[in-house]
Amino acid sequence: MVDNWEDFLIPYKQAVDELKVKLRGIRGEYLKTDGRSPIEFVTGRVKPVDSIKEKMVRRHIDEDRLEEDMEDIAGLRIMCQFVEDIYQVVDLLRKRTDITILEERDYVHNKKPSGYRSYHIIFEYPVQMLSGEKKILAEIQVRTLAMNFWATVEHSLNYKYQGEFPTELKDRLQSAAEAAFRLDEEMSEIRDELQETNRVDDTHNTRKPSDENSNLQ
């Protein structure tokens, strides 16, 4: 049983703070070496006590099983520019030795019925406490900026309507989710075309004059 919620949440807060620093450090390394990072920005939060209690009731989670059965008390979000960046970040997380991935849920190409898209990773993370090491469960969501915009708006509306959307609004939200994903795909195609154009230009600019003259003979 949880006697003191503030004490109970300390390791979760520490995990979020540590992982935000680590992930933002990775972004900095990418920018320094490549000039671009698959990580656009990182946010994190510890679920408020009222939300924890509400979810316990909704999911029928016993208080003495809270640490084992609630995976998102500590949560982080990694925002990316492009869909391809999501999978690059996922590969990066798989290689880390400070987290143990327990489950992956690909809602990017396997969207939820609502239209929601994101990539979820459930993992175990060791927190160093005064009493020793404590392993906690946490969740990372990786998504594009467009996916995050849709999810943020949908979440606020979901709170207002308590999950019972009018049919017309539900259909429009699904349509908006598809429009957001089409935008992601279009931006990826534009980036690929620009990169290909730059490669062609670089090849042309590096050709020697002798090469051009030999083609004229």
Q: Any idea which residues carry the catalytic annotation? A: 139
Burial (CB < 10 A; 0-12, 13-18, 19+), residue 140, is: buried
| Cα–Cα distance for residue pair 22/105, rounded to 1 Å | 23
What is the token pair recorded at 112? 């939820």
CA 80 to CA 85: how far, in whole Å?
Answer: 6
**End-to-end CA separation in angstroms for the chain:** 87
Instruction: Report DSSP state, residue 46.
Output: E
Q: Are 83 and 144 in contact (CB under 8 A)?
A: yes
What tokens appear for 192 in the block?
A: 């690929």
Nearest to 135 by CA among 90, 46, 68, 48: 68
Task: Count Cβ atoms below 10 Å from residue 127 Cβ, excluding itself.
Answer: 18
Contact (Cβ atoms closer than 8 angstroms) between residue 133 and residue 126: yes
Give the whole-angstrom CA distance, residue 64 versus residue 176.
40
